[in-house]
Amino acid sequence: MPIMEPVGKRKLGGSKHLEKDSVVNPCLDYFWRNGFEVLGYKANKPIRDLPAHGGVVWRQNTGSIKLGGRYVRFGVVGGSDIMGWTPAGKFLAIEAKRPGATLKPEQQAFLDRLRFAGGVGLVVRRLQDLIDQWEQIR
């Protein structure tokens, strides 16, 4: 009997979750095609094997899963969907939202604190949003 019960996309959020993937996955691909290391995507390298320079991003899932009869939370409440660091070494967080969806207060607070500390926090609803914002800050 497996310790971890698999959770399908439908159980995690149904069509909303699938719509978010249609924003997150093209963003990860954009970074990969522009020289970033994308952890867990295409080729998965351990952090110790990454070059000392260059940008790194990864998909940051949040939520909970049932393990051995109890639920365990993972991720940071309000944490963004994509996290990493820029080639200049700044912390990077990208919140992907469906068109028309708004940030939750926890998500806004996370991005506000990140920006206050000198990091880069973006909100994207489609790939072009990422491209436009990234061109302005790089």
Residue 18: pLDDT over 80: no
pLDDT in tens, 104-128: 999 999 999 999 999 999 999 999 9
Q: Which of the two residues, 88 and 42, has the higher pLDDT score?
A: 88
Structure confidence at residue 43 (pLDDT): 60
Read off the pLDDT of each residue in 10-31 and give the average, rounded to a whole number: 69
Q: Return the CATH architecture of domain 9-137.
A: 3-Layer(aba) Sandwich (3.40)
pLDDT in tens, 26-74: 999 999 888 888 888 766 666 666 665 689 999 998 888 889 899 998 8
Instruction: Give 48-117 as a DSSP string.
Output: GGS-SSS-EEEE---EEEEETTEEEEES-TT--SEEEE-TTS-EEEEEE--TT----HHHHHHHHHHHHT
